[in-house]
Chains A and B, each alone.
Chain A
Amino acid sequence: MLRLEARPNPSKPMQALTPILAVLATMVAGGILFLLLGKNPFEAIRMLFWDPVLGEYAFYYRGQILIKAAPLIMIALGLSFGFRANIWNIGAEGQFIMGAICGGAVGLAFYPMEAFWIFPLMIIVGTLGGMLWALIPAFLKNRFNANEILVSLMLVYVAENFLAAMVTGPLRSPVGMNFPVSRSFNDYPAANNPELITGSGLHWGVVTALFLVIVAYVALTRHIGGFQVRVAGQSSRAAKFAGINPKLMVAICLGLSGALAGMAGIFEVTGPAGNLSTHLPLGYGFTAIIVAFLGRLHPVGVLMAGLLLAITIVGGDIVQTSLQVPKASIQVFQGMLLFFLLGFEILINFRVRLTIKGAA
């Protein structure tokens, strides 16, 4: 019989090992899933993980990986700070949308003016838009004790509907033949987030995401704020003794993660997406939750996890088109990854002992 024995201290090697174990287990379980769908599991797993990075057309896919990884990493960095402090912002998708709308609206307001400051201004306003959207649940939690999980999630649906209202109303393109889309940012140089090196996928959002990983790493390991976040998550009583204001912590964690989600949104809409439309939300805000956990809430881990999840998104598209499997199978794949991660976490805090029944 298997018995669980609590470890006196969390196991360090297991903390590093569990994400790898989870990915391997997901590959096996995912292979079984593809087998059930009547596909060759080895081929499918190869397409998911190998082809985007090192396959025949990888020169194209690598750029795509960066494009998908940037918003995931950016959002997950913010979320991981909050998750550490036990503050659950699960509405990053809504903050992403609001960032795109606010920043995008600024750019559209100045059309067709050409000035160097328009794009930076859009980024700033987009970031603030995401932050303010996330501060709504923070305020409601601090002032009225309302659960931030439910409020932030409800606001995703509000944001989605607001986006629909904007692109069918004030922000609809006058040259879009009445389609519910905004003017294209790719045709408006002052508001464009272009590919910096052709074919590389590198845009300003990717650069910023990488820079933010470094900032987050320094903040978490070297700055008092990072320490406070960690203490607040581990014990709210200890946090009080350490002089941490819990309400301020809620506001900072939600505001910060909202700001980063909003920033990801405005980089996305000005670059890879190209315009505001109801097709803008791709679920990055939800996938980033998996990225945060897979990266064990650590900036460097988030960087690696974001790249891995981006590979599976790009690989998922390859599998979908060449093996004719439904798009949802990749969603199931990501769900399995989160399950295995959470399941294997037990190895960090517990030792699994094999005992013979009756003897123990």
Chain B
Amino acid sequence: MDFSAISPVSLIVSLMIASTPILLAAIGELVVEKSGVLNLGVEGMMIFGAISGFIAAVTSGSPLIGFIGGAAGGALLSVLFIILTQYLMANQVASGLGLTMMGLGLSALLGYSYAGIKPPASAHLDIAGLSDLPVVGPILFSHDIMIYFSIALVAGVWYFLNRTKAGLILRAVGENHDAAHALGYKVIRVRLLAILFGGACAGLGGAYLSLIRVPQWTEGMTTGAGWIALAIVVFGSWKPWRVLIGAYLFGGVTILQLNLQAVGVNIGAAYLSMTPYIITIIVLVVMSADKKRASINAPAMLGRLFHASK
């Protein structure tokens, strides 16, 4: 066993890459849940984004168009969830599960002929001088653009929720949709936009997986990342910056176990592969244990149906 093979700098870099898909999906789901909707279909939207982004990137040759395609794919799939839960009053838990099954099926169908292809490489930040610095260079100044985008997105969501009127309305809808409706806010429209945003973010996260993290298309490649994103939202107690910390912690665990597998630690690979899921459970338990703290930030209307006639 040779632990010196694990370099801390490259560990941090790969940690950020491993965290970004989950971060993107989680920050989208945070906005959805803040509006009072529980969309359990993150996994489905993510994998659908992974394949639609992959196809867009391969056919156009541009990773940027790939990411746009991924976001569009995720948002498109979320439309199904909108129709079911916002217009047909279907149960949100069941609809989310259905969305996940649908996403897994559709992506496998679309991706049938795309297995084994390499996507076009994404551009990395390269600032003369800064990017070449030791330690700081690789950690801060030479990532692919999407990593910076994902962090900017967290800042943007924080600003939107806490400093804008639209964000206040969205939170009001999530806390008490009947009161928000009485004040004249369009509950369904707010939620519709939030769900679309969540779908686009999940799709973007999926596209990051298939275009940068892996990078290729394999069936079922999200392996629970969407579900973990849901857990990260709980971990972050519905606060954008804490979601970022949660996603990075989680990425850290993933990368650490992969590195331990690589240096041949004397634990079976299958046992190490369990750790991200077990850590997620532990995190959920720790964050939910204090009922008071958990319920302070959780949107009061989470998962409840809204019908104006009531």
Contacts and interface: CB of A to CB of B under 8 A. Distances in A.
B2 to A, nearest CB: 24
B179 interface: no
Contacts of B268: 165, 168-169
A342 B95 contact: yes
Contact of A145 (B104, B105, B106, B294): B294
A4 interface: yes
B166 interface: no
A138 to B, nearest CB: 13
B32 interface: no
Contact of A150 (B94, B107, B227): B227
A286 B101 contact: yes
Given A154-B281, A338-B94, A149 B40 contact: yes
Interface stretch (B67-75, B137-145, B269-277): B269-277
A331 B91 CA distance: 21
A145 B285 CA distance: 7
B262 interface: no
Given A162-B274, A169-B268, A343-B84, A146 B105 contact: no
Q: B80, B109, B227, B231: which has the most chain A beta carbons within 10 Å?
A: B109
A334 B88 contact: no
A92 to B, nearest CB: 12
Q: B90, B97, B219: which has the most chain A beta carbons within 10 Å?
A: B97
A165 B90 contact: no
B309 A5 contact: yes
Contacts of B109: 326, 328-329, 331-332
A335 B101 contact: yes
B253 interface: no
A1 B40 CA distance: 31
B234 A147 contact: yes
Interface residues of A, number: 47
B97 A289 contact: yes
A6 B305 CA distance: 13
> Chain A binding site: helix, strand, loop or mixed by DSSP?
helix
B112 interface: yes
A343 B80 CA distance: 10
B294 to A, nearest CB: 7
B285 A342 contact: no
Contacts of A330: 105
Interface string B68-100: 000000000000100110001111011101100
Given A342-B91, A342-B95, A158 B106 contact: no
Interface string A1-20: 00011100000000000000
Contacts of B112: 326, 328
A336 B284 contact: no
A90 interface: yes
B288 interface: yes
Interface in B261-295: 268, 270-271, 273-274, 277-278, 280-281, 284-286, 288-289, 291, 294
A342 B109 CA distance: 23
A335 B227 contact: no
A146 B101 contact: no
Contact of B281 (A6, A155, A328): A155
Interface string A311-353: 0000000000000001111111111101100110110011000
**Chain B interface size, under 10 / 10 to 19 / 20 to 34 / 35 or more:** 35 or more
> Chain B binding site: helix, strand, loop or mixed by DSSP?
helix
Nearest to B289: A144
Contact of A345 (B90, B219, B278): B90
A165 B278 CA distance: 16
A227 interface: no
Contacts of A162: 270, 274
B89 A350 contact: yes
Contacts of A164: 270, 273
Given A150-B284, A158-B277, A336 B102 contact: yes
Contacts of B234: 147, 150
A350 B270 CA distance: 49
A119 interface: no
A162 B280 CA distance: 17
B84 A154 contact: no
B247 interface: no
Given A88-B93, A150-B280, A157-B277, A328 B270 contact: no
Given A5-B309, A147-B288, A150-B230, A331 B108 contact: yes
Given A286-B101, A331-B104, A146 B91 contact: no
B223 interface: yes
A4 B231 CA distance: 35
B89 A346 contact: yes
Contacts of B94: 293, 338, 342
Interface in B115-137: none
A245 interface: no
A40 interface: no
B224 interface: yes
Contacts of A106: none
A4 B310 CA distance: 12
B304 interface: no
A153 B108 contact: no
Q: B88, B93, B107: which has the most chain A beta carbons within 10 Å?
A: B88
Interface of B: 40, 80, 83-84, 88-91, 93-95, 97-98, 101-102, 104-109, 112, 219, 223-224, 227-228, 230-231, 234, 268, 270-271, 273-274, 277-278, 280-281, 284-286, 288-289, 291, 294, 307, 309-310
16 contacts: A6-B310, A146-B288, A149-B93, A150-B234, A151-B284, A161-B273, A289-B97, A290-B101, A326-B112, A328-B105, A331-B104, A339-B84, A343-B83, A343-B88, A346-B89, A350-B89
Closest 5 CB pairs of A and B: A331-B105, A328-B108, A335-B102, A165-B270, A332-B105
